[in-house]
Structure 1
Amino acid sequence: MKRLLSLFILLFVFVVIIQTFERPARETIMFFPIDPTVRFTQAQTKLSLHPKKKETRYIIDWIVTSSLDRTAYLRQDISLLFANGRLIAIQSKWKENGKKLIQQKQLEQKGSRLFQAISYHQGELHNGNDIRSSQKMSGDALYVIDSSFAPLQSFRKPATNEQKKWASTLNKQTQAIVNKAANQMATILSKDDYYHLYLTELVQYNEQPFMDLTTNETETMIGNLWEGLYKNYFLGIKKQNGSMESPIGSTVPLILIKKDYSQLFVVTETADGELIILKQLLDFKQ
Structure 2
Amino acid sequence: MKQKVLDAIPFLVLMVILAIGIEFIYQPRTEESIIFFPINETITYESVSTLLTLVPEKKDNVYEVKWKTSSKLDTPAYLRQDVGFLFINGRLKGKMNEWEQDTDQIVQEESIKGKESSLLQALSFHYSEIHENDDKYTSAQKMSEDKLYVIDSNFSPLNSFREPDTDAEREWKTILDRVSSQQLDFLWEKGIESLGIPIEEYTAIPLTELPSMEETPLEGFDNEEWERLIGNLWEGLYKNYYLGIKKEDGTIADSLDSTIPLVLVKKDKKEVLVLLIEKNGSPSLLRQRIAPV
TM-score if structure 2 supplies the norm length?
0.86
Residue correspondence of structure 1 range 1-286 to structure 2 within 5 A: 25-128=30-133, 129-187=135-193, 188-284=196-292
1:284 alignment partner, SS class? coil
What amino acid is the match of 2:204?
A: H
Could you give the per-residue CA deviations for residues 119-163 of structure 1, whole angstroms, max 9, x where no partner exists? 000110001110000000000000001111111100001111111
Give the superposition deviation at 1:242.
2.9
Superposition deviation, residue 186 in structure 1? 4.4
Identity of aligned residues (%): 39
Q: Kindly provide the amino acid, as one letter, of the partner of residue 82 in structure 1.
A: F
What displacement does 1:204 show?
1.6
Task: Give the distance between the partners of 1:218 and 1:245, measured in 2 at CA.
Answer: 29
Structure 1 or 2: more strand by fraction: 1
After TM superposition, give the deviation of residue 246 of structure 1 in Å. 1.5
The answer to whether the 8 Å contact 1:181/1:267 transfers is no
TM-score scaled to structure 1, two decimals? 0.88
The alpha carbon displacement at 1:180 in A equals 2.5
Report the CA distance shift for 1:68/1:218 in structure 2 as closer, same or farther (over 3 A). same
- The Cα offsets for residues 18-42 of structure 1, whole Å up to 9 and x where unpaired, read as xxxxxx8521111100000110001
Counterparts of 2:93 and 2:197, CA distance in 1: 29
**Is the 2:191–2:277 Cα contact (8 Å) retained in structure 1?**
no
- State the secondary structure of the residue aligned to 1:180: helix
Residue 239 of structure 1, CA deviation: 2.9
Unaligned runs of 5+ in 1: 1-23
Could you say what secondary structure the match of 1:242 adopts? Answer: coil
For 2:59, give the aligned amino acid: K
Secondary structure of the residue aligned to 2:109 is strand
259-268 or 202-211, larger mean C-alpha shift: 202-211
Per-residue deviation at 1:240?
4.1
Which range moves more in the overlay, 78-87 or 158-167? 158-167
Q: Over residues 51-84 of structure 1, what are the superposed CA-to-partner deviations in whole Å (9 max), with x where a residue is unaligned? A: 0001110000000000000010000000000000
Residues of 1 paired with 2:191 and 2:204: CA distance? 11
Question: Per-residue deviation at 1:190?
Answer: 3.1
RMSD in angstroms over aligned alpha carbons?
1.3
Larger Rg: 2
Q: Give ranges in structure 2 of 5+ residues lacking alignment.
A: 1-28
Instruction: Please tell me whether the aligned partners of residues 181 and 268 of structure 1 are also in contact (alpha carbons under 8 angstroms).
Output: no
Whether the 8 Å contact between 2:121 and 2:208 is mirrored in structure 1 is yes
Q: Given residue 156 of structure 1, which amino acid in structure 2 is its aligned partner?
A: R
- Structure number with greater CO (CA < 8 Å, separation at least 6) is 1
CA displacement 1:216-238 (0-9 Å, x = unmatched): 11000100000000000011112
Count, aligned residues? 262
Determine helix, strand or coil for the equivalent of 1:32. Answer: coil
Q: Which amino acid aligns with 2:213?
A: Y
Please identify, of 28-37 and 178-187, the stretch whose mean Cα deviation from structure 2 is larger: 178-187
Which residue type is aligned with residue 101 of structure 1?
A: I
